[in-house]
Amino acid sequence: MADYSLIIDGQKICTEDSFPVINPATEEVIARCPKASTEHVDLAVAAARRAFPAWSATPDRERVAALHAIADALEANGEELSKLLTLEQGKPLGGFAGMGSGWEIGGTLAWCRATAELQLPVDVIQDNDEARIEVHRKPLGVVGSITPWNFPLMIAIWHTMPALRSGNTVVIKPSEFTPLTTLRAAEIINEIVPPGVFNIVTGDGSLGAAISSHPDINKMVFTGSTPTGKKIMQSAAGNLKRITLELGGNDAAIVLPDTNVADAAPKIFATAMVNNGQTCAALKRLYVHEDIYDEMCDALAGIARSVTTGEGTGEVDFGPIQNRPQFEKVIGMVEEAKASGATFMTGGEAPDRPGYFFPVTIVKDIADDTRLVQEEPFGPILPVLEFSDVEDALQRANDNSNGLGGSVWSSDIERATELASRLESGTAWINSHAMIRPDAPFGGVKESGIGVEFGRYGLEEYTSIQTLHIMKA
């Protein structure tokens, strides 16, 4: 097994305690990871605090160059990172539609480079003989980041590169289920940035609580479940930290009767099953008009029967669910749906083999009040629900505490756009879903989060406003 260490103030730090990292495809221990204490958190925050004045004063062009250098270095180690990601997360190297660990590495590089080129220009409110009023964006200080297990490296980059770009320093804690790729990336990043600018600690949820409540951290960024997000929001209140929370989603899609099923079904399947359904913005509730309901269900089931699930190091479309608690949650939701009388067109049974494998599952004739519809399964399962009236479908789609993304599918773009504008979601798509990009803001409404990521809007969330009034007369 490879050795892994915390990185604090540019130095590798060993700990007395450790915890196992499990390969979800084999249930075998692939590494032991250092278990940080609250004292290590204090050391990491103190290092980030010391590094902040110099990093925030670093010329803008040098921070841009640093982010490009980070992207280049990660790319040079891309094969190693991709293999490590597959081992700890489970996603295939290639995967369905090429969206495996290699795709995550590619997305990591793209976001890093796009973030490097973002600008925060001075906004001039007034400039005349009397006065000049300027609005400046200033870095906040130390940013705390807590990342999830579904996209360990890409989301770490989403959190930390805007922080570095805007002049902040970082303390990051990856999920205890998938810490290895982020630890290795942190080693690479620390070869480029000054000591203390990028610090990493690893451990369980108690460590996350120590970070979110720390009085010397100025902002928290978290991607994960809504219950944990609420706890972070509460603990961040101690010093009124800024927060960005990207939380759970239970995205709905409405398919109108004029939709070409043969064209739409493969796209719907891909956006529902991206990363084995373990994606916050994946399509998770599909409402289909009665005129094409059976045709759509049959088309989706046909695709599901054609794909393969297995260990990610092989030539397969989908890997395992990442961890046992999530695996058991999926099984529980499926069993409840079966008991309610839902029809399982494919899947629905975990194979009798090692690993947290669950087949791609398409479910029809399912009631709205079933937990598989009301809650986010975060697994390879898609419930398909029938509607006859589009206003009813819209009400059902919006009748959920989550509001991350949503979509409308139709050949009538104008009609689809009008309906999409009425979805209670942070992002709405027409004839697509889960299509995010580094220059477009992304975030949720209702209980799917606070704030946005990506582009200029996301970068601004790592800054405070300072208004300068310059009197000339």
Helix, strand, or coil (residue 314): coil
Q: Is residue 207 within 8 Å of residue 217, measured between CB atoms?
A: no
3-state DSSP assignment of residue 8: strand
**DSSP-based three-state secondary structure for 239:** helix
* Residue 396 · residue 418 · CB < 8 Å: no
Please name every residue paired with 221 in a beta bridge, in sequence order, or none if there are none: 145, 244
CA 118 to chain centre: 20
Three-state secondary structure call for residue 222? strand
112 is catalytic: no
Rounded Cα–Cα distance for residues 363 and 370 (Å):
12
98 CB burial (10 A radius; 0-12, 13-18, 19+): exposed
Burial (CB count <10 Å: 0-12, 13-18, 19+), residue 58 = middle
**Cβ(238)–Cβ(261) under 8 Å?**
no
88, 280, 311, 424: the catalytic one is 280
d(CA 108, CA 54): 26
Cβ pair 436, 446 in contact under 8 A: no
Q: Are 305 and 299 in contact (CB under 8 A)?
A: no
CB 114 within 8 A of CB 440: no
β-strands 131-139, 123-127 pairing: antiparallel
Tokens found for residue 279: 């994606």
Closest among 9, 5, 6, 7 to 49, alpha carbons compared:
9
d(CA 364, CA 44): 50
Give the residues across from 429 on adjacent strands: 407
Which residue is catalytic, options 88, 104, 176, 246? 246
Q: Which residue's structure tokens are 């269900």?
A: 297
DSSP string, 161-173: HHHHHTT-EEEEE
The terminus-to-terminus CA distance of the chain in angstroms comes to 70
Measured distance CA(130)–CA(49) in Å, rounded: 39
Active site annotation includes 33: no
Active-site annotation, residues: 246, 280
